[in-house]
């Protein structure tokens, strides 16, 4: 019984430490944005199309290498989408009001394989104007190796809301 209690305490302590780290990282994300680059041998394309009061989002990820690779994610959430207005104020975040499985998950890519993630953003309550859509594939590791400092799967595009 003592062993279980100690194990539970260790797990809860570790979970708490992870949250603090995530908050610190998000606070410095804007500062590092200009220094980021896509990892070698990977291509990510972000495309949008407005259909009525909906922005259709398509995020494509391609393994451009001649070898198999595996992307690891720290939760069931594969990507994050953030829509910002002309003043860089956040008006939409994909993960808001959603719950994701808390488990390490994997996506395997064959050589030159492309995977596509699709989402829709409702723009009915947004004023007309130019917005910036930021998309990030939330990769924790490639082939069980953490991403090097400054490498991210992120892209942004301008979107006109009519």
**DSSP annotation string for 71-113:** EEESSS--EEEEEE-TT--EEEETTTT-----S-EEEEE-TT-
pLDDT (0 to 100) of residue 97: 85
User: For residue 67, what pLDDT is reported?
Assistant: 95
Flag whether pLDDT at 18 surpasses 80.
no
- Check pLDDT > 50 for residue 113: yes
CB 69 within 8 A of CB 109: yes
Report the pLDDT averaged over residues 66-82: 94
Q: Structural domain boundaries of the chain?
A: 1-35, 39-161
Contact 122, 53 (CB under 8 A): yes
Domain spanning 39-161: which CATH class is it, in words? mainly beta
pTM, two decimals, is 0.73
- The strand pairing partners of 20, in sequence order, are none
Task: Answer with the residue of higher pLDDT: 9 or 75.
Answer: 75
Judge contact between 116 and 60, C-beta under 8 A. Answer: yes
What pLDDT shows up at residue 132? 97
Q: Tell me the mean pLDDT in the region 81-86.
A: 96
User: Is pLDDT of 83 > 60?
Assistant: yes
Q: How confident is the model at residue 36 (pLDDT cuts 50, 70, 90)?
A: low
Whole-angstrom distance, CA of residue 29 vs CA of residue 23:
10
């Amino acid at each position: 019984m003592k062993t279980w209690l100690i194990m539970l305490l260790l797990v809860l302590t570790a979970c708490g430490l992870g949250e603090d780290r995530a908050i610190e990282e998000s606070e410095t994300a804007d500062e590092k944005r200009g220094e980021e680059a896509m990892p070698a041998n990977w291509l990510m394309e972000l495309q949008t199309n407005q259909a009525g009061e909906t922005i259709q989002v398509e995020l494509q990820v391609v393994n451009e290498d001649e070898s198999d690779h595996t992307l690891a994610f720290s939760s069931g959430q594969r990507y994050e989408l953030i829509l910002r207005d002309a003043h860089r104020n956040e008006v939409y975040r994909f993960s808001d009001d959603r719950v994701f499985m808390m488990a390490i998950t994997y996506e395997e890519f064959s050589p030159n394989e492309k995977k596509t993630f699709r989402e829709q953003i409702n723009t009915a309550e947004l004023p007309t104007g130019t917005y910036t859509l930021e998309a990030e594939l939330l990769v924790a590791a490639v082939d069980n190796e953490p991403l090097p400092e400054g490498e991210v799967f992120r892209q942004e595009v301008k979107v006109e809301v009519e």
